Amino acid sequence: MDTSEPVRILTVCTGNICRSPVAERLLQAGLDQVVPGGFEVTSAGTRALVGEPMQPISADIVRTFGGDPENFAARQLNSKILRGVDLVLTMTAGHRGEVLQLDATLLKRTFTIREFARMLDVLDQRAAASAGNGLDGNYDGGGRLAANTAFWKSLPARAAGVRHLALAGDPADNDIVDPYRRAPEVYRQMEDQLAPAIVSILRHARLNAPA
């Protein structure tokens, strides 16, 4: 297992200008605070408006939560982008299916972001009950970044192990609404769905950061 590189996370939506850029920039900003240099978060779209910047309201949401929306350009999802990714977080179940059509080997590393967040909440609750949060200072000689990478490379399997405890009451609760060309209120709905998922992921990262 190569633990010399940062954890590579890819967020995916349709146009790569509304939802996945918000997830990308807010996850990157939060994870940089937890383990500086430990993560590389990027995004792409299944039908991307290639080269376009983030939509203005999405950029405002990123700024509101302390991220940087600047210098963003939409990218088309392809097999090259997926190569070497440790974790794929999609905005809908449909996007997950499209990722797996491109690379079926990512089956156990691809989740909708809301589903993944619920799984991490279950893991956190279990760890709290057993007072087992966090990694200790024994990094097996690899250093803090290596310990963090090893933890995150093994995280998808642990998350999938509690999937049955994190099922959505309604399948729609796995998806983030697409606000493109819709009213500002739909962007607020997107924010309300996406922000708690990002908070859960960042909480899990913080609770399990190498000391």
CA dihedral 99, 101, 106, 107 (to 10 degrees): 100
193-190-100 Cα angle (round to 5):
80
In angstroms, the CA 194 to CA 22 distance is: 9
Catalytic residue among 19, 75, 109, 114: 19
**Are the CB atoms for 40 and 84 separated by under 8 Å?**
no
- Is 203 one of the catalytic residues? no
In angstroms, the CA 108 to CA 10 distance is: 14
**Paired tokens of 1:** 């297992």
- Is 18 one of the catalytic residues? no
Catalytic residue among 18, 68, 86, 124: 124
Residue 23: exposed, middle, or buried by beta-carbon count in 10 A (0-12, 13-18, 19+)?
Answer: buried
In angstroms, the CA 99 to CA 52 distance is: 21
- Which residues lie below 8 Å from residue 127, measured CB to CB, with a gap of 6+? 133, 207
Catalytic residue among 13, 75, 96, 114: 13
DSSP 135: B
Decide: helix, strand or coil at residue 101: helix
Amino acid symbol at 44: A
Q: Give the active site residues.
A: 13, 19, 124
